[in-house]
Amino acid sequence: MQTFQGKVVLVTGGSVGIGRSAAVAFAREGAAVVIAARRETEGIAAVKDIQAAGGTASFVRADVASEANIAAMIAHAVKTYGQLDVVFNNAGIEGKLGPIETLAAGDFDDVFDINVRGTWLVMKHALPHLTATKGVIINTSSVAADLGMAGTTIYASSKGAIITMTRTAAIELAPVGVRVNAVSPGPIATDMGGRFFGSLDNMHGFAKTNLPLGVAGHPDDIAEAVLYLASPAAKFLTGQTLTVDGGMSSK
C-alpha cells in the first residue's frame, strides 16, 4: 500500500531541487501534491512529470514573501483536493553571501522575509486545515545553522530560526495533534547548492575533502528523509531536526 494514499501534500519551493524531488516522491507514494513556487515553467513541468507517471498533482504560483499568496495557495490545495494533511515548508533562498561589512539591511530583510517570515506564515495559514486532519509540518533548515561558516551570517541565522520555530511550534501544536519537525540538509547538488559554493564542481570538491561520506548529497536523499518525517513511522517524533549531511556535522 502506498504510504500517503488519500493524503494531500503541499510543497512550497516545489518546482526545483529538493522541493521537486519531495513532490515527486510524495506523489509516488499516493499523495495528491500541490506544488507551490515562484517558477511557473518549472512547476508546471514537475506536475506534468508526476501526472505522466500516474500521480496526482497541481501547480499554484506563489511567493511566500506574500501573505496573500500563501493564503491563496492553501485555499487552492483545500478547494482542489478537499483537505490538507502535510506541509513541506521548503521555500527558501540563500540570499547574498559575504562578510558582514559587505551586506546591507535589505539583504537581511530579503532572506528573513522568505526563509523565516514565510515559513511562519505558511504554518499559520495551514494550521486550521492540519488541525482537522491531525497533519504534519516539515520545515527546511540547513546544516549551516549548526556549523560556523564564514560569509553566511544572514542565511545561517535564518536557518537557525527555523530550528527554534520548529521546536516551539511542536510544543504548541502537539495538543491539537499536529506534528512539526525539520530537515537539515548538508551540501546537496542543486542549483542553490551550486550558487552557495560558487559552482557544483566546487561543492563536489568540498564534499570529497570535508564530508565523512566523501560525496555531496542528491535531492532525493532529502526527499526520503522528509517522507519519513511525514509518515506514520515517525508518529512519536515532533520538535526534532533530522540532519542529512553525509556526516559533515559529526566532525
Instruction: State pLDDT tens for residues 14-34.
Output: 999 999 999 999 999 999 999
Q: Across residues 215-236, what is the average pLDDT?
A: 97
Residue of 223, 131, 132 whose CA lies nearest to 169: 131
Instruction: Work out the average pLDDT over 210-221.
Output: 95
Per-domain residue ranges of the chain: 8-246
Buried b / exposed e along 55-75 (16+ C-beta atoms within 10 A) = bbbbbbbbbbbeeebbbbbbe
CA dist., res. 123 & res. 70, Å (int): 10
Q: List pLDDT tens digits, range 92-108.
A: 999 999 999 999 999 99
Asked if pLDDT for residue 196 goes beyond 90, the answer is no
89 three-class SS: strand
What does the longest C-alpha to C-alpha distance in the chain come to? Answer: 54
Backbone angles phi, psi at 103, to 5 degrees: -105, 155
Residues 119-152 as b/e (b if ≥16 CB within 10 A, e otherwise) read bbbbbebbbebbeeeebbbbbbbbbbbbeeeeeb
Cβ proximity of 18 and 41 under 8 Å: no
- What average pLDDT is seen over the chain? 96
Closest CA to 92 of 68, 111, 108: 111
Across the range 87-95, mean pLDDT stands at 96
Whether the pLDDT of residue 84 is over 80: the answer is yes
d(CA 163, CA 122): 15
The CATH code belonging to domain 8-246 is 3.40.50.720
Asked whether the predicted pLDDT for residue 81 surpasses 70, the reply is yes
CB 149 within 8 A of CB 159: no
CB atoms within 10 A of CB 107: 17
**Which residues, in sequence order, are CB contacts of 49 under 8 Å at separation 6+?**
24
Residue 126 clears pLDDT 70, i.e. is over it: yes
Active site residues: 155
Sheet containing strand 179-185, strands side by side: 56-61, 32-37, 8-12, 86-89, 136-140, 179-185, 241-244
Q: What is the pLDDT of residues 163-178, one digit of tens each?
A: 999 999 999 999 999 9
